[in-house]
Each structure stands twice: as structure tokens, then as C-alpha cells.
Structure 1
Amino acid sequence: MYQEERLIAILEHIRQHQRISVEDICELFQVSRDTARRDIVKLEEQGQILRTRGGAIWRGLNKDVSGYGDRLQEEPAVKRAIGRLAASLVQTGDYLFMDASTTVMNAAEELRTDGHVIVTNSIDIAGLLSQRPGITVHLLGGVVHPRHRFIFGARTLEMLRDYQADKLIIGTSGITPDGLTNPFEEEGYVMKEMMRRSDQVIVLADHTKFGLRQFYRVNGLESIDILITDREPEDGMKEALLRHDINIMIAKGENEP
């Protein structure tokens, strides 16, 4: 195995287990302790992990945030599968909150029901669904974030407090046993208020979001009813989700059984 392949595998292990030791690397990849240490140094130089005594841990705070257009292109098949499953949970006549996540955008594209009232802070979801017959869209007012295409601010929250919805379909930048996090505090306020005003909260998160912590904690796991993802979470994360009675749903690709 080349070093580049091994580094990717090490990062995946840390993503799932939050840490890795030199001994783990030696055993998993059949390499010497010197090679394992060089791998850890390389990943630290790349800013991917934090080196600890005898191993490495995931960086405590993830600060990497791609632009909206770039995020739309990340894992498109996975996001489409998650969005399709989320849309299948929507019943004719449901009133919905939808946030500005790119995965939620996929859910909006997969909607096949009507009679909906949609409240959103996403410019793109509003533009898409406003063209659909049988759907009424309320686009929240406020300040537009130009790079990430969500609306936020005091006016946004003021409008939200006048609404109530059957379901919220919401994405997340990171999910840990401590809850959902977001890199932008202002967007986190909007997400928190949407969760407070929904009868059912459906979170969409592909496997890359597990173990990531961003700057602002939106809410704890107790606020979630359903989590839709593309892989079984690792044991610690799964135990935390089940402890809060969250229904974990695994989305399959179009060609998967």
C-alpha cells in the first residue's frame, strides 16, 4: 500500500473511532513503528490531525467549509440517495421547514408530493420549489450570505417565530454524541429555531459528517427524531443515537438492493 492510500485509511479510522495509536497503524497496515510515526507526522503537517503521546486524534474543531457550489458536487450520488429517502417520508399536504443544506436541496429535487407549504432560508430551494404546482413557498427575509446562499439575521428569526411546521428537513456540517454543529453561528440560530418549531425533525447527514465538530453547537441529539445517512454509524455514535430513540435510516443508491 502506498503512503497516500494509507493516510486516507488512517483518516477514515480516526473519523470513525476519534483516535488511532502507533500500534493500531502497525497492526492494521503491517508497517514498522517508524513508518507509523512518519504517517502521523505527515497528517499533522497537512493539518488533518493532532498528534498525541503514542498516536493521534481527530482535530477538535473542523474549520474547512467549501462554498455552496463545491459542496453540491461533493458525494452527489450519496446526497441524491439520502435526499430521495427523505422525500419519501413527506406526505401530501405536509407543511415543511427546509434549511439551506446541499443535501436538503437534493431532498427538494426529489419531492413528488404536493399540497405543501414550504418555509426556507435557502435561495436555491425557494427558486426550485416555487416552480412546482401545488407548492407554496415562503422565503424567509434577512441578510443573504453570498458564498453559502443562506438567509440569516434578526429578521429571519422574527419571521420564523410566526410559523409552525409538520416536519423539518435539515442538514448538518457535523454530528457527534454531543449533537449537531455548524461553522456559522448566524445560520445555527436559524436551524435551532426551525427545530424548535417543528413537530418532527429529520436530519440528513452522510457518513463524512460523523465525528466532525464545527464552531457552533446547534442542538443536542435529543432534538432529532430521524437521522438519514448512507452508512451505519460506528458503535459509539450509534449507541448515542439509539440512546436518544433516534430512528436511523440508511439510504441506498439506485442500484443497491
Structure 2
Amino acid sequence: MYQEERMLQILHYLRLHKRISVDDICEIFNVSRDTARRDLVKLEEHQKIIRTRGGALLPSLDHDSIRSYNERLLTLSTEKQVIGQLAASMIRNKDRIILDSSTTVQACAEKLNVQECSVITNSINQADVLSGKDGVSIHLLGGRLQKEHRYVYGSSVIATLSHYFVDKAFIGVGGITAHGLSVVHEEDGMLMHQMMKQADQVIVLADHSKFGQNFPYRFADLSEVNIVITDRLPDPDMLELLQRHDIEVIVPS
């Protein structure tokens, strides 16, 4: 296993267990203590961990300082494109769909290729991407503009959404755990939950880093999700949890 792969696995372990020791790394990956220390040094250089005596833990997450939309577009961009392609392939001609304002859902909008489709969204970016596609009818919801993250929100948006019914809703998330789906901001989560309620089928788009992550506002239970599209299978415990809730997990073949 290459160092980059080990580092990703170390971060995944930390999300689940909160801390890891040098001995844990040696045992899990069958490497020497010197190799384990080098992995932790590199992760610390990238500001992914805080090194402690004999191990490491995750830095405290400042949930109020989430990166801007454009910064998030650059994060795990390859994975988002893979997920977006899979999501777009599930959209049929003449479908009525909802797209939320997440950057992973934008990848779906970019890959959308149908002759006719009706899209409801609260995202300026999704509307802009779709405006260049013939046959796509766009309903951009009106409300208060969140400038940095480029979406509209508020009670008027939720009220308008309640009058629409669609075939599919494509939703991005901050995190997925046994407790459900979570995001940073309450107003964002409330809107996303309303989107889910209006759809016959709820499809969550989440790269592998979202599994095991908990954010301040839990906006939906796992029982409200039909499909999760991700770039690779989650760990066995998470996969079993999703399957217990009859959630289909789709990954690249």
C-alpha cells in the first residue's frame, strides 16, 4: 500500500474512532513504527491531524467556517465527477427532479444529458450550468441569497417547494452516520429536508469522506433515503447500516 492510500485510511479510522496510536497504525497496516511516524508527520504537515504523544487525533472542526463554494469545488474533484456521472445516468427523459446546492450535485448537473427534463433548484450555479442545455426547463427558487455558497434559502423557499412533486431529488450532505444526514447550517438542512419530502425517490450523493462524519444539524433520518451514490464502498459496518435501512449503495463498476 502506498503512503497516500495509508494516509486516507488513517483519516478514515480517525473519523470513526477519534484518535489513533502509532501502534494502531503498525498493526492495521503492517508497517514499522518509523513508517507510521512518517505518515503522521506528513498528515500534520497537511494540517489534517494533530499529533499527540504516541499517536494523533483529528483537529477540532470549526463548523462555522465552512469553505466557500468555489473552494469546495476543488476538493475531491475527481470523485465528485465520478459520482456526478453516475447520478446523471439515473435521470430519464421527461423526469422532474430537484437538485440541491452542493458541489457534488453540480457535477450531476454538468453531466446531465437528456432530451427533456424539468429541474427545480435553489442553486445559482446549478441553474447556470443547466441554462446551456437544450430541453432542460429550470425553476430557480426565490428567497434570501447566501452569497458565499451561492444558494437561496428561507421560509419562502420551503413554502414554494411544498407545492412541487418530483420523481427524484439529488441531495448532497456534510456527513452520514447512524444518526442520519447532517450539515453545518440549520437553514440549509431544513431546505434539503423539504426537497426530500417532495420526491418519490431520494438520492444522496456523497464521496467516501462523508461517511462517519457528524455535523451540527441533523436534517434527515437514514429511513428517508432510497439510494446513496459514492465513489467507493464504505466500511463494512457503515455498509451494513445502510443495507438495514434498505438503502441501495451505488459505486463505479
SS at match of 1:157: helix
Say what the alpha-carbon RMSD is for the aligned residues: 3.1
Change (3 A) 1:130 1:178: same
Change (3 A) 1:9 1:230: closer
The residue number in structure 2 matching 1:216 is 217
Query: Which is further off, 124-133 or 141-150?
Result: 124-133
Query: Which is further off, 154-163 or 60-69?
Result: 60-69
The residue number in structure 2 matching 1:10 is 10
Is residue 2:8 matched to residue 1:31? no
SS at match of 1:100: coil
Higher relative contact order (CA 8 A, sep 6+): 1
TM-score by length of 1: 0.83
The residue number in structure 2 matching 1:243 is 244
CA deviation digits over 1:140-164, x for unaligned, max 9?
1111111111111011111111111
User: Following the alignment from structure 1 to structure 2, what is the Cα–Cα distance between the partners of residues 250 and 170?
Assistant: 16
Letter in 2 for 1:198: A
Deviation, structure 1 residue 66: 1.5
Gaps of 5+ in 1: 253-257
CA contact (8 A) 1:228 1:250 kept: yes
User: Following the alignment from structure 1 to structure 2, what is the Cα–Cα distance between the partners of residues 158 and 98?
Assistant: 17
Change (3 A) 1:21 1:137: same
CA contact (8 A) 2:49 2:56 kept: no
SS at match of 1:163: coil
The residue number in structure 2 matching 1:135 is 136
SS at match of 1:114: coil
CA deviation digits over 1:120-177, x for unaligned, max 9?
0100111221332211111111111111111110111111111111000111111112
Gaps of 5+ in 2: none
CA deviation digits over 1:61-84, x for unaligned, max 9?
662621100111112221111101
CA deviation digits over 1:192-216, x for unaligned, max 9?
0001111000111011111111111
Deviation, structure 1 residue 56: 6.1
Query: Which is further off, 74-83 or 222-231?
Result: 74-83
User: Following the alignment from structure 1 to structure 2, what is the Cα–Cα distance between the partners of residues 183 and 153?
Assistant: 16
Deviation, structure 1 residue 16: 5.5
TM-score by length of 2: 0.84
How many residues get paired?
246
Letter in 2 for 1:115: E
Letter in 2 for 1:145: Q
Change (3 A) 1:165 1:237: same
User: Following the alignment from structure 2 to structure 1, what is the Cα–Cα distance between the partners of residues 177 and 55?
Assistant: 21
User: Following the alignment from structure 1 to structure 2, what is the Cα–Cα distance between the partners of residues 19 and 234?
Assistant: 17
| Percent identity (aligned) | 43
User: Following the alignment from structure 1 to structure 2, what is the Cα–Cα distance between the partners of residues 6 and 128?
Assistant: 36
CA contact (8 A) 2:154 2:187 kept: yes
Change (3 A) 1:47 1:232: closer
Q: How does 1:217-236 map to 2 (within 5 A)?
A: 217-236=218-237
The residue number in structure 2 matching 1:255 is none
Change (3 A) 1:55 1:244: farther
User: Following the alignment from structure 1 to structure 2, what is the Cα–Cα distance between the partners of residues 118 and 237?
Assistant: 31
CA contact (8 A) 1:205 1:228 kept: yes
